[in-house]
Amino acid sequence: MRTPFSKNFFALIACALFCSWPAHSQSVYPDKPITLVVPFTAGSGSDIVARIIAKGLGETIKATVVVENKPGANGALGAQAVARAKPDGYTLLLGSATTNAVNYAFYPGKLGYDSSSFDFISGLGSSDVSMYINSSQPWKNINELIAAAKKNPGTLSCGSGNAVTQVACEYFKRRAGVDVVTVPYKSNSQSLTDLAGAQLSFAFSDSTAAQVFVATKKVRPLASAGEKRNSVAPDVLTFSEQGMKDFEFTAWTAVFSPAGTPTAIAEKLNAAINKITDFPEMVQLRGKAGSTAMVMDLAGGKRFVSREVVSWKKYIEETGIKPEQ
> 34-127+250-319 and 128-224 share one CATH topology?
yes
Q: Is 179 left (phi over 0), alpha (psi -120 to 50) or beta?
A: beta
The 3-state DSSP class for residue 7 equals: helix
Paired with 183 in beta bridges are 159
Q: Please give the residue that has the higher pLDDT: either 324 or 11.
A: 324
> Which tens digit of pLDDT belongs to each residue from 137-186?
999 999 999 999 999 999 999 999 888 888 899 889 989 999 999 999 98
Q: Give the span between the Cα atoms of 291 and 207, in whole angstroms.
A: 8
CATH number, domain 128-224: 3.40.190.10
CA distance 6 to 131: 83
> Which residues are paired to 95 by β-bridges?
254
Q: Is the pLDDT of residue 304 over 80?
A: yes
pLDDT reported for residue 250: 83
Q: Which amino acid is at 89?
A: G
**pLDDT tens-digit map of 86-127:** 999 999 999 999 899 999 998 888 999 999 999 999 999 988
Provide the residue ranges of all domains of the chain, joining segments of one domain with +: 34-127+250-319, 128-224
**Other beta carbons within 10 Å of 70:** 19
Residue pLDDT, tens place only, 215-230: 999 999 999 998 888 8
CATH topology for the 34-127+250-319 domain: D-Maltodextrin-Binding Protein; domain 2 (3.40.190)
For 173-193, the pLDDT digits (tens) are: 989 999 999 999 988 889 999
| Residue 46: closest CA among 227, 219, 208, 276 | 208
Note whether 36 and 48 are within 8 A (CB): no
Quote the radius of gyration of the chain (alpha carbons, Å).
Answer: 24
The candidate with the shortest Cα–Cα distance to 241, out of 256, 225, 257, is 225
Q: Quick one: which H or E segment has residue 5?
A: helix 4-18
